[in-house]
Amino acid sequence: MNVSAEDAEDAFSDATIRAYEKYAAHASQISNERAWFARLLHNICIDKHRANKRLRNLYDKVKEVNSVDMAAFDIRYQTPEGNLLNSELSRRLRAAIENLPDRLKAPVILRLVQGEEYDDIAQALGITNDNVRKRVQQGRSLLRDSLKSLKE
């Protein structure tokens, strides 16, 4: 593993544990224990490599979300009054989103601003679909409260 020695040690430990758990059940089918263990270790290394890649993609996605261009808010109406109302709402909504806690900000932007699906958001952020839905729900509630306080 070219990422780190710790990942290599973790992969070897995981392979040893998995071999201990699975060997008895598959012993009759295994003709070369060394090759079997090498294949098991190889598969675990591939899994760890993919997990590291997902973490790097998540880091890149979070950086992208934090620097998102909220151009989706710039919907224009035909009338000057519509433009004024829209720009004011857009400004207030941007400020409210910026004030969200960090754990809610990324799911809210990805779902409500960029329109991504819950499964895609969950995969990008490395959390469950239910967790994404709950965070978006909490974010909507905070945004609603924030916009209500401006209204009053």
- For domain 70-151, give the fold: Arc Repressor Mutant, subunit A (1.10.10)
The structure's pTM equals 0.46
Q: What is the pLDDT of residue 1?
A: 54
pLDDT < 50 positions in the chain: 76-77
Q: What is the pLDDT of residue 135?
A: 92
Q: What is the pLDDT of residue 95?
A: 85
CA distance 139 to 6: 37
DSSP secondary structure letter of residue 127? S
CA distance 79 to 11: 63
H helical segments located in the chain: 5-26, 33-66, 80-98, 102-108, 118-125, 129-151
Spatial neighbors of 107 by CB under 8 A, at least 6 apart, are 121, 125, 132, 135, 136, 139
Q: What is the pLDDT of residue 76?
A: 47
DSSP secondary structure letter of residue 76? -
